[in-house]
Amino acid sequence: MNPFTDQREFQVGHFGERRLIQEMTKWLSDCTPPPPEGIGDDAAVLTTPSKQLAITKDALVYRKHFDEQAPAELAGAKLINRNISDLAAMGAVPSHAVIACLLPPNTSIPWLSQFYSGINQTAKSHNLSIVGGDITSTFNDLAFTLTLLGSIPVRPLTRKSAHPGDTVWVTGHLGGSILGKHLHFKPRLEEGLWLASKTEVTSAMDISDGLATDLLNLCPEDCKIEVQTETIPISEAVENYGDDRSIDHALTDGEDYELLFTLDAKTDQLAFLARWRAEFSIPISCVGAVRSRDKDDESRITYLGESTDFSPKGYEHF
- Which stretches of 90-221 are assigned E, i.e. beta strand? 93-103, 129-137, 143-151, 167-171, 201-207
Under rule CB under 8 A, residue 143 binds a second copy: yes
Of residues 145 and 246, the one with the C-beta less far from a second copy? 145
Q: Which of 195, 223, 282, 287 is nearest to 250 (CA)?
A: 287
x/- mask, a second copy, residues 205-244, rule CB under 8 A, reads xx--------------------------------------
Residues paired with 129 in a beta bridge: 96
Of residues 86 and 238, the one with the C-beta less far from a second copy? 86
Of residues 59 and 265, the one with the C-beta less far from a second copy? 59
Options 88-96, 219-227, 262-270, 300-308: segment touching a second copy (CB under 8 A): 88-96
Amino acid at 80: I
Options 114-122, 153-161, 168-176, 303-311: segment touching a second copy (CB under 8 A): 153-161
Cβ count near 29 (within 10 Å):
9
For residues 54-83, which are near a second copy according to CB under 8 A? 54-59, 61, 63-64
Q: Which of 198, 187, 127 is nearest to 157 (CA)?
A: 198
CA 206/CA 92 separation, integer angstroms: 13
CB-based burial label for 134 (10 Å; 0-12, 13-18, 19+): exposed
Of residues 35 and 71, the one with the C-beta less far from a second copy? 35
Name the 3-class secondary structure at 261. Answer: strand
- Candidate residues 24, 28, 31, 44; the one interacting with a second copy per rule CB under 8 A: 44
For residues 98-137, which are near a second copy according to CB under 8 A? 98-100, 102-103, 105, 131-137
Under rule CB under 8 A, residue 26 binds a second copy: no
First to last CA, the chain: 26
Q: What is the nearest approach in angstroms of a second copy to the Cβ of residue 217? A: 9
Q: What is the nearest approach in angstroms of a second copy to the Cβ of residue 240? A: 27
CA 46/CA 35 separation, integer angstroms: 10
Q: Cα separations (Å) of 16 from 8, 113, 144, 293?
A: 12, 15, 18, 58
Q: What is the nearest approach in angstroms of a second copy to the Cβ of residue 211? A: 15
- Candidate residues 6, 16, 199, 279; the one interacting with a second copy per rule CB under 8 A: 16
Under rule CB under 8 A, residue 40 binds a second copy: yes
